[in-house]
Chain A
Amino acid sequence: MTTAIKYPHAAGFVAGDRPKIVTSRFEHADSYTIERFLATGGYAGLRKALGRAATDVHEEVKSATVLGRGGAGFPAGTKWGLTPQQVFPKYLVVNGDESEPGTYKDRLLMERDPHQLIEGCLIACYAAGLSQCFLYIRGEMALAQERVATALNEAYAAGYVGKNILGSKFSVDIVLHWGAGAYVVGEETALIESLEGNRGMPRLKPPFFPAANGLYGQPTIVNNVETLANLPWLMVNGSEAYTAIGTKTSPGTRMVAVSGHVKNPGVFEIINGTTTFRDLLYGAEFCGGIRNDNELKAFVPGGGSAPWFTADQLDLPFEASQVGPAGSMLGSGAIMVMDSTTDIPAAALTLTHFYAHESCGKCTPCREGGTWLERILTRIVEGTGTEADLQQILEVGAMICPGDFPHASNEKLGLAAVPFPYKMTTICFVGPSAFAPLHSAITLFRSEFEARLVKRISIPVTAVSTPPTVWA
């Protein structure tokens, strides 16, 4: 019976023969217990960190260039350094609200190795002088909440969290917080609003850069789960060992979920910066090719918000400095693959619907434009759209993103890449994201949209107009 096994111990995760920084314990069925954690070097990184001055630990993280794994890719050590020196208290908010379409990694890290995340939080608080940590887990992730709650209870009891950690002068609480279903809360300022008990509507940056003006108006570091999960290994092995993996600008590893029309979809911890999309989609140790050996039509390289790539971009490495100029973004490590059988307008509609549905409603262009786009696109997908509708999509999109919209190059269409990012009239990226996938779909596959349009007989305007009524 397929439903008998509730939680195969790391569904979707494919270990492979690669260096492991954050998934080293996933092979154990009991990887989430404190016993297993301690037996496999758990909290050694914390102990090592506490044996050094906080500033030293901060320096170590800085020199390792641990890029943020949430989407923006900003180095964690640098981020910590942006808080004002003399303003207290400072907070750590852990972003475990993973909900970007295609993304599946933070949930695994929380379900499978919660202590590793806790240890990472502690190291961050210690290094950056953060007085309290709030671990925000997405509301729908029941198991992750249970595993992290259990782990925290264990860690408190064992003296790893709370007052005088390991008998030292380092004291910090980690508070488990959980959401209730709103994609936009993954945006860091919306996350802070939500943590304050408010509607999760993003704040404008500036003035609300969390590092200076975050939770309760205090300096706040918002780090992604995976980012923090890197820290224990980094503490134990040092920044040199860390930067020896991957490239100079993208050191270490990264968790990537590849889903959609591939033979073996899965979550992989890959070497940063060097692994290419082709490796991931076709490599035997990764997805092993497109299903039924179909042709690749397009793929989403970095989560639902990212403009799409085609086979032309397969040889790009997983490296932000190359993916951006090519017209998209790496985002949250989420690749969604579409094979030749894919109905492109319908696929694009799922994402346009997603972003329209998830708009918080704050900015007019996103609130009104997102649903407008969805309604026009629905008409086209259902076969009742017109040529004017297709044009209208681009014009509504321009109200959200005025100016050139990024897209990939395409040899067949003779397109040159327009680099990421875009100009926008909204506060956060949800608005533009309603248009990003759609824009690239229309750019790359216009004929598929046109094929769906109603062909109308064009009636000259003059033939149907009547003389204006003259009012007596």
Chain B
Amino acid sequence: MTTVDSNTTAPEPVVDPNAVSVTINGKVVAARKGEMIIAAADRTDDFIPRFCYHPRMEPVGMCRQCLVEVVGPRGPMMVVSCMTPVAEGQVVNTETEGVKKAQEGVLELLLANHPLDCPVCDKGGECPLQDQAFSHGPGESRFVEEKRHYEKPIAISDNVYLDRERCILCDRCTRFADEVAGDALISFTSRGNNTQVMTFPDEPFSSYFSGNTVQICPVGALTAKPYRFKARPWDIEHVESTCTTCSVGCRTVVQSSRDELVRYQGVDSQPVNWGWLCDKGRFNFESINSKDRLLTPLIKDASGNLSATSWSVAIDSAARMLRTALTVSPQSVAIIGGARGTNEDAFAWAQLANALGVDSRDSQLADGLPPQVFSLPQATIADIDTAKTIILLAPDLKEELPVLYLRVRHAAEKRTGRVVEVSPRATGLAGKAWKKVHVEPGKTAAALRALATDAAFMAQVASGSVVVIVGRMNLAESEESVVHALAEVLHLAPQATVLPVLRRGNVRGSITAGLTPRNGGKSTAEILEAASAGKIECLVLLGADPLSDVPDADLARRGLSGARNIIAIDTFITQSSATADIVLPAAAYGEKEGTTTNLEGRISNVAQSITPVGTSRPDWMIAVELGTATLHELGFTSYGEVHAAMISRVSEFAPAADTHAVEHDGVIIAHPSPITLTRADGASNERNSYDYRAVVSRKLYDKAIGTAKSPSLVSLAPSAAVIVNPLDVPRIGAQVGESVRVTSQRATLVLSLQESVDVLRGTAWLPINLGGSDVRELLDVSKDVIDLKIEKMS
């Protein structure tokens, strides 16, 4: 079934403004038309105090703290600088007696009802209200009355606490929730002096982005459970880094206290994340502090149990396993993984593989895209801001790449570009889409081909730049089908640039570094198939957990049990590393330095903040040691050397020589000359006798280790279910919430039946990697599409 519905009502995109010049406190400042005075003033040394103003949100003029004087025809006028646009020749004064008095007045009023519990407030020491009371306040309060009282604090979600007594009603959190995140689950309630921020009764602020409200709260009204009472700001060590939870690569500040991670904060990086983080990326530092982390190498003892050993024994044993396997044939050695580490980790492992002659290495887990997508004309994240058309041929960005979702949502919301959603189900962006092409799995390329006759669509893509965001929107559909669909899109919009969205942290960096099949080497699916056939003597799992992540449970199981020896490099005992013969403990994020590459190919640094736990080591170091032990010196023995070697040997990484850029907004990798995709007729993918075509994708919170080992996140993961269109529920005959039998040609599972209008009729959506029955049992990566039978339990 294909539905194509068009919302032709979205107005034309807005045009960019021009330059103007204003005078602020006697200094001439260059500004852009439409810019507010406060933004222009921020480029001078003169600070205008503010609470409600936030450069990434629409101004509201609510707190009145940023009052300044603008010289007008009738003398100086008092205006709020956050809502007064600059004008050519405008004269602004921010430090006159009148301004000082007004600002002091507003501050005194803001403090009137603010409790003085700063000593026990998380914000104390880094609080804009404290700081600005100091710099712009009257110095004393004349308010002697009883302050407002509310119950404090109240949990408005699993991770966010609200103290309404501290709140100064600046509208930042509520604006963020509505305007930026699109989750208007908190609102001002009541009126006047009783105004409070609240959720709807019994409906928590369950937004994937709730942590941002804590970060932008200018007082301690919103605090985050994972950080509450953990540290004082003056005891915290800060390093700027890049989040590698997914491949968006948000810039962060990693904060630690007493050699333990305590908090991540978003950094406003114009090309990437504008200061925002998703809650998963923000709070999963807890997993790094987890008590379950691997502290020492483990080796399988005589009784088949993993027990602790020394690094020298472990390395020697691993080297012996590798050498033995290599004597059989280099084809009998394979490496899966690498996307979890840094570019340097992947590079070192690729160098080791080269030295050993191992061609079967793959940092994708049979859930990605062919690396050739990196050779198409590439788009950057920032290109979304200026694109006239954004075509989504991608998984639900809100679930898989949340901060990229915010960027696309912003473009649609601000009407700078129109969004075309091509998907087997309505994603988080459906409500913002100008056009929705919802098409059942297996028919995407055909549906896109048909768009050639859609005049409105063709006029839209012809109207300017087009960015195609491409990824695996359905894990129950082959990667070839995505490539076919992409070829169709590029045929309709030949000028389009491509933003490949492989979701795993550093997957692009590790592919670029060489952890991808070469010289006819095998991919992950092929490695597992070969292992199953007894053809893999030694399998290295480099931070990979195929038993949890490969979307074909049977294949992963056969592969791991068929491999003669397994060496796992990991931070935890996972399903897969538990089956290994040797497990080497790896240093985690925040415990090592390096660089990472995000989905657009941006190289930026990850910083070391704490000492690696136990005896764990960075992956690159383990590669070097295994090299030495297998008599293959890799030519580097320190981080500096591996980094330098990487830049000189991998041409794509050459721009990373600009250390300053890498430590800030990052640099884009050097692209090879682009290729073009050939259109191909895909398989017709006709239905078998089963009624429902499977759509399998990920939710933000699942059983992945970073979530599972973070106490604040683990309970947020939903349970597995089969979700169908409400109109299909009667056909199944079972009630919503009831358990039903779901059968594919592979297996039969029992799953809870759920309904959603986001799901197309005749399809079934099965979020993967959740608690309960393992949806991956139903899947077969060798098939183009998976059809299902859903039956009421007898």
A interface, CB within 8 angstroms of B:
182, 199, 204, 206-207, 356-365, 367-372, 375, 392, 395, 398-399, 402-403, 423-427
Contacts and interface: CB of A to CB of B under 8 A. Distances in A.
A286 B308 CA distance: 102
Interface in B45-62: 60-62
Interface stretch (B189-197, B262-270, B289-297): B189-197
A364 B192 contact: no
A425 B193 contact: no
B109 A364 contact: yes
A364 B106 contact: yes
Interface of B: 60-65, 67, 78, 80, 83-85, 98, 101-102, 105-106, 108-110, 112-113, 142-143, 145, 168-169, 188, 190-195
Contacts of B142: 392, 395
A356 B106 contact: no
A229 B378 CA distance: 63
B105 A204 contact: no
11 contacts: A199-B191, A204-B61, A359-B192, A361-B195, A364-B63, A364-B109, A370-B193, A371-B192, A402-B105, A425-B106, A426-B64
Given A363-B61, A364-B63, A425-B78, 7 more contacts: A199-B188, A199-B191, A359-B193, A361-B190, A364-B106, A368-B112, A425-B105
Most buried by B among A360, A364, A392, A425: A364
B145 A364 contact: no
Contacts of A207: 83, 85
Given A372-B143, A395-B142, A365 B191 contact: no
Contact of B62 (A199, A362, A392): A362
A368 B110 contact: yes
A364 B65 contact: yes
B408 to A, nearest CB: 23
Which 5 A-B pairs rank lowest in CB-CB distance, beginning with the nearest? A399-B105, A361-B195, A359-B192, A368-B109, A371-B193
B64 A359 contact: no
Contacts of A403: 98
A364 B168 contact: yes
B103 to A, nearest CB: 10
Given A363-B62, A375-B145, A402 B102 contact: yes
Contacts of B110: 364, 368
Contacts of B145: 372, 375
Contacts of A423: 78
Contact of A356 (B98, B112, B168, B192): B192
A111 B83 CA distance: 41
A427 B60 CA distance: 10
Contact of A360 (B78, B143, B191): B191
Contacts of A369: 109
Contacts of B80: 204
B191 A364 contact: no
A368 B85 CA distance: 27
A365 B105 contact: yes
B192 to A, nearest CB: 4
A25 to B, nearest CB: 38
Contacts of B85: 207
A206 to B, nearest CB: 8
Contacts of A363: 61-62, 64
A207 B79 CA distance: 12
A192 B191 CA distance: 17
A45 B145 CA distance: 58
A364 B188 CA distance: 14
Nearest to B114: A368
A402 B193 contact: no
Contacts of B188: 199, 361
Given A372-B145, A392-B142, A367 B195 contact: yes
Contacts of B112: 368, 372
A392 B140 CA distance: 14
Given A359-B192, A368-B113, A399 B98 contact: no
A199 B168 CA distance: 18
A402 B98 contact: yes
B7 to A, nearest CB: 17
Contacts of A199: 188, 191
Nearest to A361: B195
Contacts of B98: 402-403
Contact of B193 (A365, A368, A395, A427): A368
Most buried by B among A206, A358, A398, A399: A399
A204 B83 contact: yes
A334 B64 CA distance: 31
A357 B67 contact: no
Contacts of A359: 191-193
B64 A182 contact: no
Contacts of B61: 204, 363, 427
B109 A372 contact: yes
B155 to A, nearest CB: 24
A370 B105 CA distance: 13
B80 to A, nearest CB: 7
Nearest to A374: B193
Nearest to B148: A371
Contacts of A357: 192
A399 B192 contact: no
Contacts of A206: 84
Contact of A364 (B64, B83, B190, B194): B64
Given A204-B83, A395-B142, A365 B192 contact: no
Contacts of B108: 399
Contacts of A425: 64, 67, 78, 102, 105-106
A371 B195 CA distance: 13
B62 A399 contact: no
Contacts of A365: 64, 105-106, 109
Nearest to A375: B145
Contact of A361 (B60, B64, B65, B192): B192
Nearest to B191: A361
Contacts of B60: 362
A403 B99 CA distance: 11
A368 B105 CA distance: 11
A157 to B, nearest CB: 33
A417 B142 CA distance: 30
Nearest to B51: A364
A69 to B, nearest CB: 27
Contacts of B65: 364
Most buried by B among A207, A360, A372: A372
A79 B149 CA distance: 45
A435 to B, nearest CB: 13
A399 B169 contact: no
A399 B106 contact: yes
A35 to B, nearest CB: 42
A365 B110 CA distance: 8
Contacts of A367: 169, 192-193, 195
A244 B147 CA distance: 58
A391 to B, nearest CB: 10
Nearest to A368: B109
A362 B101 CA distance: 20
B82 to A, nearest CB: 9
Contacts of A368: 109-110, 112-113, 193
A375 B144 CA distance: 10
B109 A361 contact: no
Nearest to A391: B142
Contacts of A361: 169, 188, 190-195
B166 to A, nearest CB: 14
A308 B196 CA distance: 34
Nearest to A358: B192
A399 B142 CA distance: 12
Contacts of A392: 142
A182 to B, nearest CB: 7
A316 to B, nearest CB: 25
A403 B101 CA distance: 10
A331 to B, nearest CB: 21
Contacts of A371: 192-193
